[in-house]
Structure 1
Amino acid sequence: MPLNDERPTSTSSGEDQGSDAESSSERCNSMTMGSDPESSRESFTSDCSSTPSSSPPKTITLDEVMDTAKDLFNLSLSHEIIMNRSFHLEPRNLPQNSLWKAVRDNMHKAFWDILETELNDDPPEYGQAIRLLEEIREILLSFLNPGANRMRTQIMEVLDTDLIRQQADNDAVDIQGLASYIISTMGKMCAPVRDDEIKKLRESTDNIVTLFREIFRVLDLMKADFVNFTIENLRPLLQRHSVEYERAVFQSILDKTPSALDNTTSWIKLALEELLSATAPPTEQNNGHGKGQRPLPGPLQVLNVAFLHVLTWDYSKSPLPETLMTDENRLRDIQRQLQQCQAVNEVLSIVFSTIGGPIQGLPALSDRLKRMINVLLDGMHTPSFNLEESLEGVSAQICCELNKSLTERDYPALTPALQATLKGQICSITQKDNPIRTLVEDRVQQYFVALLSHPKPQDKLEQVPAGLLAIKPELVSMGSKFVSLVNYNKTVYGPFYVDIIRKLMFSDGPPAAGPPQDRAHNSVAPN
């Protein structure tokens, strides 16, 4: 009969990826991506043996599309297992009143009704029951290790459908005995956490149809347990070979789908153009670059700018680069948390700068205001969230909290005019050109720039810019997660990035920075 599907589940939103990808920072720093703009050409000439290749445009067959989909699934699954220690599978619980649940429940009910009708016939019919036993046999066999030959043979003998059909022809099927054997075998195979479920099956006084229905329910749980046990055993192996495996799978996808790096190329090109537009106009130089030439940014510098764009990515306008798709949920979570933290910091900055001395040096008050603002702004990333209305509510609550704190310490309460000013300033942070908002966002960008640019970002995590101390714990947590994701991503997809940047700079991009003889000397060639 149809069984419940299984779905991946995570009890944390990527909170463990930092520990799993910690070593990727050191590997990333050993990549051939010089951060010095003057050494950009030399950095492209190293490790060319790992440069990815792409196939010329061609017609893609249905088989290739299916193979690519399978590669994408394997890539996403292995990446999730590596990055998230809480990742596991569990039987799917379909939403109540959903069409899919209604269809599934009706199909299951029809199956069990047919089984009950056949078994209640005189003489009983066993066609549906034999198909049921055959499916149970295959599930039990799938739980066995390769060397469990004795139990495999026993299962095949007891649940021999040919023999059961012969018994059915002679009305000699011991269906209750077969159910008892199945439950006993399940008890030998199940995880200790399922012992109570097996005990209930053994003690069940339900009719045979209900008993088999419960057997299938417990088998669903055992299937999830078996898959999760396999995941735990595979995780150390995947961690040791994760970089090579993910890079090889992505190369396989690229071979079948040459356009698989189009979004990534546009993403890197945007960062490169931003750096070039920010470069000072060409001037007389005597630094080896020649007159009228400007140095090109190094590949690591280009990538750092590109990854900074991910923090403010507009998912409604364009998809993420293909090389970041496996981390999309984690990156979205970081972006949402960052947006909310920035809003909290902006509100607190306005409050303390507007009220001044009477509320300075009161950490307990600051913590209360911070928690209150966080609660009122929770979910601000959702489409239905009205930020202006929420900020009005925040303003009212803040004024109440401030008046309470001021009167407790014999200060005068806030005047209506000051409350109106405070409310107006807080609500104005919805405007993109608001100076407080701009200042906070710029300093947050400075923080992440410092983390991405430093060879040992862990040393920079606690060095939060002035004005952001109110959200320091959150910034440190987000910074650690983001840097781990970025460094692991650079390690896996570094050769692809280098190839794209090289083509943008020296093929279709701007003119090279060095004189002709330097360009010839630094041409890309295997070492």
Structure 2
Amino acid sequence: MPLNDERPPSTSSGDDQDVESSSERCDSMTSTSDLDCSRESFTSDCSSKHCTPSSSPPKTLTMDEVMESARDLSNLRLAHEIIVNRNFHLEPGSLPQDSLWKAVKDNLHKAFWDVLETELNDDPPEYGQAIRLLEDIREILLSFLNPGANRMRTQIMEVLDMDLIRQQADNDAVDIQGLASYIITTMGKICAPLRDGDIRKLRESSDNIVTLFREVFRVLDLMKTDFVNFEIDNLRPVLQRASVEYERATFQEILDKTPNALKHTTSWIQSALEELSSSVPKGQNGPEKGPRLVPGPFQVLNTAFLHILTWDYETDPLPETWMTDEQRLREIQWQLQRCEAVNEVLLIIYSTVGEPIQGLSSLSDRLKKMISVLLDGMHRPSFNLEEALEGVSAQICCELNKSLTERNYPALSPALQATLTGQICSITQRDNPIRTLVEDRVQQYFLALICDPKPQVRLEQVPTGLTAIKPELAFMGAKFVSLVNYNKTVYGPYYADIIRKLMFSSSSSPPAPAAANPPQDSVTSK
């Protein structure tokens, strides 16, 4: 931990990294994707080491192997989070207020401090607990120092010399107040700037020595978190420079120890292949003549990526290659579902009411914000969408009537309000034509982004009918494509191997390739 002027900067919270910088980094990474060795890599073995990932055959694991795999997975998740989220940092640990663990922890701590206070108040004082406390503080302070901070290390060892303090305790000559003052001063020299206020309060504290030491430990716990976050900031550039190699190597270590290593990833890609194969036309001379046509490998992979957007997390495990991004993918899906619902309601409003509300951007913005707020949290199982849409309809009718009467238009008739409410509530039905239209066009938008070598150009090119949610779509599109590009770069060799096996292992002679894919199908050559 740097000293004085080299103290770590304060950390701040945040979720995902900046979208634009993320996309740029992933685009540069993707240019070296192993999935792009060549199109021939899908029909012949790659000689490159990175193009031949392996997975272990099923075997019985020992408990040690299970624990080791769990540690590898935990390391992979942490490293991935540090790489893709530049604002990632640890928060000081806190237990739920009413939890059993918090009750146990509080009782143990109270017992410790009660014993310390009792010992110090004895006549003569006892210093057993106090010496153990000072020893712990000394080790914590030393753990904060950089290897080169020899002078401060020596000073801490001299002032907090446990052998000397024990001798002083035997003669009732321990200057506890003086030691506390030195500890606080030392903490002030090595803490992060955001802890200066806490250190100032410690210096100015008029509490008794036991309460003061409790506060010292509280601030030391905060400093531990600051230290870890400082190390994360230092580690991030190193990880980013070697992120692809590190994540791939760590993932391979997990596969080597795990039976059925890529089971869910294989099922995910197989589902995309089967979907495309069922839609590819037969040979020109009829179903019994001509070679069987199959979709291209890049088309299969792009379709599989699109499936991630609508993944059913309740019934299907996420592919193993996406496990480090599950929370980010869920959040994109939740935001997308709400945006689709908002767009569907707006389309119904404007098609039902028509000309009297056309061209009023301020009204459109108010309606959009109102609908979005009322549908917040619609992804939760407890959320009643139909009930929420009834509330949305009532609010919309009030807002429309207010706008219409202000501009000397007649208010909506009861019959028209009932029609509007019924149409809005009907979007809960999966086969609703408005819902189907919006969902299809959203899928088209994301597929175009996935397939385009330069997706940034397409972010603002939303399909007709989705203009109302254009900013939200562009934001989510950038985040999703960034995740896809990075995922493709790291796990490209595994995808190539799986697709090659799925396409050619079941037939003795390779099937004929499908008709030439459109230009965007070469997405992985970005």
In the superposition, the TM-score normalised over structure 1's length comes to: 0.90
The yes-or-no answer on 1:144 pairing with 2:127 is no
Check whether the contact 2:184–2:203 (CA below 8 A) recurs between aligned residues.
yes
2:408 maps to which of 388, 406, 410: 410
Check whether the contact 1:29–1:455 (CA below 8 A) recurs between aligned residues.
no
> How far apart are the structure 1 equivalents of 2:316 and 2:89?
30
Give secondary structure in 2 for the equivalent of 1:89: coil
2:33 corresponding residue in structure 1: 31
1:346 corresponding residue in structure 2: 344
Distance 1:171 1:399, change over 3 A: same
Distance 1:60 1:100, change over 3 A: same
Distance 1:102 1:508, change over 3 A: farther
Aligned length: 501
Give secondary structure in 2 for the equivalent of 1:433: coil
1:519 corresponding residue in structure 2: none
> How far apart are the structure 2 equivalents of 1:429 and 1:328?
27
Check whether the contact 1:32–1:43 (CA below 8 A) recurs between aligned residues.
no
Check whether the contact 2:168–2:174 (CA below 8 A) recurs between aligned residues.
yes
2:13 corresponding residue in structure 1: 11
Check whether the contact 1:28–1:490 (CA below 8 A) recurs between aligned residues.
yes
The yes-or-no answer on 1:49 pairing with 2:49 is yes
Cα shift at 1:162: 2.8
Cα shift at 1:68: 1.5
Cα shift at 1:418: 0.8
2:418 maps to which of 392, 417, 420: 420
2:368 corresponding residue in structure 1: 370
Cα shift at 1:44: 5.5
> How far apart are the structure 2 equivalents of 1:427 and 1:410?
29
1:482 maps to which of 480, 483, 488: 480
Tell which deviates more after alignment, 482-491 or 296-305: 296-305
Tell which deviates more after alignment, 393-402 or 100-109: 100-109
1:456 maps to which of 454, 457, 468: 454
> How far apart are the structure 1 equivalents of 2:215 and 2:507?
65
Give secondary structure in 2 for the equivalent of 1:229: helix
Distance 1:73 1:345, change over 3 A: same
Could you list the per-position Cα deviations for residues 284-312 of structure 1 after superposition, in whole angstroms to 9, with x for gaps in the alignment? 49xxxx96223332222111111111111
Unmatched 5+ stretches in structure 1: 1-8, 516-527
> How far apart are the structure 2 equivalents of 1:422 and 1:351?
7
Tell which deviates more after alignment, 62-71 or 301-310: 62-71
Distance 1:450 1:29, change over 3 A: farther
2:303 corresponding residue in structure 1: 305
> How far apart are the structure 1 equivalents of 2:36 and 2:98?
57
Alignment of 1:217-366 (within 5 A): 217-284=218-285, 292-366=290-364
Distance 1:86 1:510, change over 3 A: farther
1:497 corresponding residue in structure 2: 495
Kindly provide the amino acid, as one letter, of the partner of residue 239 in structure 1: Q
Give secondary structure in 2 for the equivalent of 1:259: coil
> How far apart are the structure 1 equivalents of 2:451 and 2:73?
31
2:204 corresponding residue in structure 1: 203
Cα shift at 1:359: 1.1
Check whether the contact 1:21–1:83 (CA below 8 A) recurs between aligned residues.
no
Unmatched 5+ stretches in structure 2: 1-10, 514-526
Cα shift at 1:47: 6.1
> How far apart are the structure 2 equivalents of 1:473 and 1:20?
18
Give secondary structure in 1 for the equivalent of 2:236: helix
Could you list the per-position Cα deviations for residues 101-148 of structure 1 after superposition, in whole angstroms to 9, with x for gaps in the alignment? 222111111111111112122222222112111111111111000111
Check whether the contact 1:282–1:292 (CA below 8 A) recurs between aligned residues.
yes
Distance 1:112 1:435, change over 3 A: same
Kindly provide the amino acid, as one letter, of the partner of residue 25 in structure 2: S
Could you list the per-position Cα deviations for residues 449-498 of structure 1 after superposition, in whole angstroms to 9, with x for gaps in the alignment? 11011111111111100000000000000000000000000001111111
Percent identity over paired residues: 73
> How far apart are the structure 2 equivalents of 1:42 and 1:115?
70
1:134 corresponding residue in structure 2: 135
Distance 1:510 1:196, change over 3 A: farther
Give secondary structure in 1 for the equivalent of 2:24: coil
Could you list the per-position Cα deviations for residues 36-78 of structure 1 after superposition, in whole angstroms to 9, with x for gaps in the alignment? 9xx5665755564212112233322222222212211211111
Aligned Cα root-mean-square deviation (Å): 2.2
Cα shift at 1:155: 1.6
Check whether the contact 1:52–1:495 (CA below 8 A) recurs between aligned residues.
yes
- Name segments (4+ residues, structure 1) moved above 4 Å: 32-36, 39-47, 508-511
In the superposition, the TM-score normalised over structure 2's length comes to: 0.90
Check whether the contact 1:28–1:491 (CA below 8 A) recurs between aligned residues.
yes
Check whether the contact 2:32–2:489 (CA below 8 A) recurs between aligned residues.
no
The yes-or-no answer on 1:439 pairing with 2:437 is yes
